[in-house]
Amino acid sequence: QVQLVESGGGVVQPGGSLRLSCEAAGFIFSDYGMHWVRQAPGEGLEWVTFIRYDGTFEDYTDSVKGRFTISRDNSKNTLSLQMDGLRAEDTAVYFCAKDLEWKSDGFSFDSWGQGTLVTVSS
């Protein structure tokens, strides 16, 4: 049974930094791409970033390029998101999500974590 547990959310001032983590269990972490998807308060879902199963490729939505960095440690089954230069519009619940397809850049999701709230406010 797939388990994804996020942590690291909190309140941060505009321009500040935060690092989110996602601990994975119940599947071979190193065989699947991973994503971060966010949801602003009262809004819908927005894909943020993806990292390939082996960490050799990553991609970002335009609004976070140059500010957010996704990474993974396959030896520790952990996904991370370093968020720098945070803005008010980054306020959201951040979910980590497992890609559907084995060793593929599929951009669809089959399992989600419970989310961690990031609030950017002065």
Interface positions with other proteins (CB under 8 A): 37, 44-47, 59, 61, 95, 97, 100, 106-115
The nearer residue to other proteins, 21 or 61, going by C-beta atoms, is: 61
Q: What CA–CA distances, in Å, run from 97 to 32, 43, 120?
A: 10, 18, 22
* Minimum distance of other proteins from residue 100's CB (angstroms): 6
- Shortest Å distance, C-beta 12 to other proteins: 22
Dihedral angle over CA of 97, 28, 101, 116, nearest 10: 0
Number of Cβ within 10 Å of residue 57's Cβ equals 11
**16/115 with CB nearer other proteins:** 115
Q: Where are the beta strands (DSSP E) in 8-75?
A: 10-12, 18-25, 32-39, 45-51, 58-60, 68-73
Cβ 36 to other proteins, closest distance in Å?
12
Spatial contact of 35 and 99, defined as CB atoms under 8 Å apart: yes
Spatial distance between the Cα atoms of 50 and 69, rounded to a whole number of angstroms? 10
- Toward other proteins, which CB reaches closer, 78 or 111? 111
* Shortest distance in whole angstroms from residue 60 CB to other proteins: 9
| Complex with other proteins: residue 31 or 112, whichever CB lies closer | 112
